[in-house]
A and B are shown apart, each in its own frame.
Chain A
């Protein structure tokens, strides 16, 4: 059977950086990505990133992705397998995958799971009508394929993703009828919100969607105000004629492989769902299996990249590679702390506290 030192599952920002860091220290790395291109969520991010300058803030996601790809392809220690989906992790350490209609097997010494996240759904009547999409799907259609999702959109969710995708929709010539959010306050950054309001799009807070309607696909949606107990207020219903309802109501970590590998899992609402328990070097409770990026808790690309760095350095160290491992790790962990030190990091720190709750036990 084929063997490798490090297998990285997922070619988003977290996985790309993890592969680079491990390979630069001398480890042989196989990086798998189920899509036909690397980049993960970054390939749809046409806006300039918020976050720390060091983590490429101010650059567009699509450009960050290109930069990382260059670094990857220049490294002879890295083999990239695109269109290759990891299917299973077995007890004897064998990992199985599907690529080009073939079933492949690989035995890595270390595995880094960087599978990202998937979009959350929302319960409301007729939520299965065609025309109801996750925000990521809208971005994929419009920013990857150059196809508009429809003509008039109701955006559900006023967090950063809802706001940014609304703006991107307008850039593509699509009308945004309104943005609604159940919370009494806009969750995303006010710079984004103001930009959208200036363009004439109303943002209704304390509002929810009651139902979608339409024969074969969405023709409209009924939204209503919520009282302070988050219950719809009778008589406040508004009928919006839209052909697209875009759900930007959060992400939950893609953790099937963690479950399957036997990682101990914990439900952390701040991270978007169940996540594997891990130590600060990002190793899970299964020795040799590491997690980084959104898969270990939904956060953002900048944090995903620094986590990738931590995971990459950690696996290299555990395999005996690298010269300045201690300094490098300390520097990466410090960057991570710094990223999470602002108000936006509060939620993440709370989640981490819960995750490490049972006495910070370290696995290795």
Chain B
């Protein structure tokens, strides 16, 4: 959920952007991370673990832990917590370890 009223902070949100999450159109703001936009849209499951296929979400949100790897515009293993949203971006749940020649 987006915070609208905050006692201290004013959120200067950028331009509204559309992007695709597994084919579905989602809106977010320019300047925010993919993970933040997905989270605001209620999407918490970002990937699955390799061996046991457990659902995975973000953990650190600053690019330290690699818990948030997704396929972005065909490129696997992108840390979506530190990748900024762009208009028309295709964001997909990653299956397995990802393949660079995809």
Q: Which residues from chain A sit less than 8 Å from chain B, CB to CB?
A: 34-36, 46, 60, 118-119, 121, 128-134, 136-137, 140-149, 151, 171-173, 216-217, 254
Contacts and interface: CB of A to CB of B under 8 A. Distances in A.
A137 to B, nearest CB: 4
A263 to B, nearest CB: 20
7 contacts: A35-B62, A131-B44, A133-B59, A137-B58, A145-B32, A145-B36, A146-B6
Contacts of B6: 146, 171-172
A173 B59 CA distance: 21
Contacts of A172: 3, 6
Main secondary structure of the interface of A (DSSP, over half): loop
A137 B82 CA distance: 11
Given A146-B3, A146-B11, A147-B39, A128 B62 contact: no
Given A46-B9, A146-B11, A129 B59 contact: no
Contacts of B54: 128-129
A208 B11 CA distance: 35
A173 B7 CA distance: 10
A133 to B, nearest CB: 6
Contact of A130 (B3, B55, B62): B55
B8 A60 contact: yes
Contact of A146 (B9, B61, B63): B9
Contacts of B39: 141, 147, 149
B99 interface: no
B32 A216 contact: no
B7 A137 contact: no
Contacts of A140: 61-62, 81
Interface in B10-40: 11, 13, 32-33, 36, 39-40
B67 to A, nearest CB: 8
B69 interface: no
Contacts of A148: 1-3
B7 A134 contact: no
User: Which 5 residue pairs across A and B have the least CB separation, nearest first?
Assistant: A130-B57, A137-B61, A146-B11, A145-B36, A140-B61
Nearest to A247: B59
Contacts of B64: 118-119, 254
B59 A134 contact: yes
A143 B45 CA distance: 21
Interface in B49-91: 49, 54-65, 81-82, 84
A34 B13 CA distance: 22
A36 to B, nearest CB: 7
B19 to A, nearest CB: 15
A121 B65 CA distance: 10
B2 A147 contact: yes
A22 to B, nearest CB: 26
A216 B49 CA distance: 12
